[in-house]
Structure 1
Amino acid sequence: MKKQIIVGGTLKDAADRVADAWRRAERGEPVEAQDNVTFLSWSALASHMTEKRYELLRRLHKAPAVSIRALARDLGRDFKRVHEDVTALEAIGLVAREGGVLRADYDEIRASILLDAPAA
């Protein structure tokens, strides 16, 4: 599964993507499942995706963590900071928590930066 990050998109852009997929499905065309996260600006994405959070995502991709405490220990980081990072990444859909187990089950994150999008 892929997760796509779109920078410079709007809520209307996201709604248009859903409507387009719906119309294609109604016509019987194949529709690939997409899991998108839209940020209004590059700075909004940059405030969420730090090097430490990227490292955390890579670790969760390799192996789920049974708790934030276990993840912090595996990463050699402070529990409070890892908790903050997990909470932020969970809020934007990059970390999933199922029964307390933390996961990043997608294989790839693609970022698209729309250069003709209106400034936020």
Structure 2
Amino acid sequence: MTTLKVKIESLEQTMEALADAMKAATGQSAPRSECSFSFPSWEAMHRVLTPKRLEIMKVMTGQGPLTKREVARRVGRDFKAVHADLETLLSSGVIDRSDEGVVFPYDRIHIEFEIESAA
């Protein structure tokens, strides 16, 4: 089962994870089995992952490639609005294009974040 971990992390944390991935790719360390998508802030995450876009991701989870019309049918929304949401998810790198349409290549979504007190 492939899980996408969505998280909020600093640029430094993202760069450390990238460095680890590069080391693993060159055989210098063990590969990480985690697939993750990071946002720099809560606000940035919510600009991309709105409730309606999360609903789209949910219906696409584990389904393989789907046409945009099929995604709209599954969420019960207007094609034009779903098309715009899919384009945002595509341009953000959350979902991918395929020959058959669009695909969210994960079986699960895990959203991880922390909320700290204001200073």
TM-score, normalised to structure 2, is 0.75
Q: What is the identity percentage for the equivalent residue pairs of Structure 1 and Structure 2?
A: 25
Q: Hey, which bits of structure 1, 4+ residues long, moved more than 3 A?
A: 21-25
How far off its partner does 1:86 sit? 0.6
Q: How does 1:86-101 map to 2 (within 5 A)?
A: 86-101=86-101
Aligned residues: 113
Contact 2:3–2:110 (CA under 8 A) maintained in structure 1: yes
Q: How does 1:56-75 map to 2 (within 5 A)?
A: 56-64=56-64, 66-75=66-75
Structure 2 Cα separation of the partners of residues 74 and 109 of structure 1: 18
Q: CA RMSD in A?
A: 2.4
Deviation sequence 1:69-102 (CA, Å, 0-9, x none): 2321232211111011111112222212111422
- Give the gaps of 5 or more residues in structure 1: none
Contact 1:65–1:71 (CA under 8 A) maintained in structure 2: no
TM-score, normalised to structure 1, is 0.74
Deviation sequence 1:29-84 (CA, Å, 0-9, x none): 43224432221110110121122112111111243454212321232211111011
Structure number with the bigger relative contact order (C-alpha 8 A, sep ≥ 6) is 1
Question: Corresponding residue for 2:3?
Answer: 2
The DSSP-based 3-state class of the residue aligned with 2:112 is: strand
